[in-house]
Amino acid sequence: MSEKLLIGRTIDTGSWVHSIDPRAKMVAMMLYVVIIILSNTWLEMAYVILFSLIIISLTRIHIKYFIRAAKPLWVLMLFIFIVQCIKVDDKNGAILLSIGSWNLYFEGFKLGLFSVLRMVFLVSFTAILTFTTTPGRLNQGLEGVLKPLKVVRVSPDRFTLMVSIALRFIPSILEEAQIILKAQASRGADLRELPWKEKGKMLVSLLVPVTVGAFRRAEDLVHSMESRGFRLGEPRTKYHRLVWRKRDTIFICFFIVMLVAMVWMSGYGTGELWTL
Q: Smallest distance, Å, CB 15 to another protein?
A: 14
Q: Check residue 142 and report its DSSP letter.
A: H
Q: Check residue 104 and report its DSSP letter.
A: E
- Pick from 91, 187, 197, 231 the residue near another protein by CB under 8 A: 187
Q: Contact between 208 and another protein (CB under 8 A)?
A: yes
- Report the C-alpha dihedral over residues 28, 29, 33, 35, rounded to 10 degrees: 30
Return the number of the residue (90 or 190) whose C-beta is nearest another protein: 190
Rg (the chain; Cα; Å):
24
| Per-position x/- string for 60-99, each x denoting binding to another protein as judged by CB under 8 A, each - no binding | --x--x----------------------------------
Q: Contact between 200 and another protein (CB under 8 A)?
A: no
Burial class (CB in 10 A: 0-12, 13-18, 19+), 48: buried
Q: Contact between 188 and another protein (CB under 8 A)?
A: yes
In a 13 Å sphere around the CA of 164, the CA atoms on its Cβ side amount to 17
Q: How many CB atoms lie within 10 A of CB 260?
A: 11
Q: How many residues bind another protein (CB under 8 A)?
A: 25
- Report the C-alpha dihedral over residues 11, 12, 13, 16, rounded to 10 degrees: 110
CA-CA distance, 134 to 5, in Å (whole number)? 16
| Per-position x/- string for 117-156, each x denoting binding to another protein as judged by CB under 8 A, each - no binding | ----------------------------------------
- Pick from 154, 170, 203, 212 the residue near another protein by CB under 8 A: 212
Q: Smallest distance, Å, CB 178 to another protein?
A: 10
CA-CA distance, 231 to 221, in Å (whole number)? 13
CA-CA distance, 184 to 199, in Å (whole number)? 12
- Pick from 93, 136, 156, 213 the residue near another protein by CB under 8 A: 213
Q: Smallest distance, Å, CB 226 to another protein?
A: 23
Note the residues at the interface with another protein (CB under 8 A): 2-3, 9, 11, 62, 65, 176, 179-180, 182-190, 193, 205-206, 208-209, 212-213
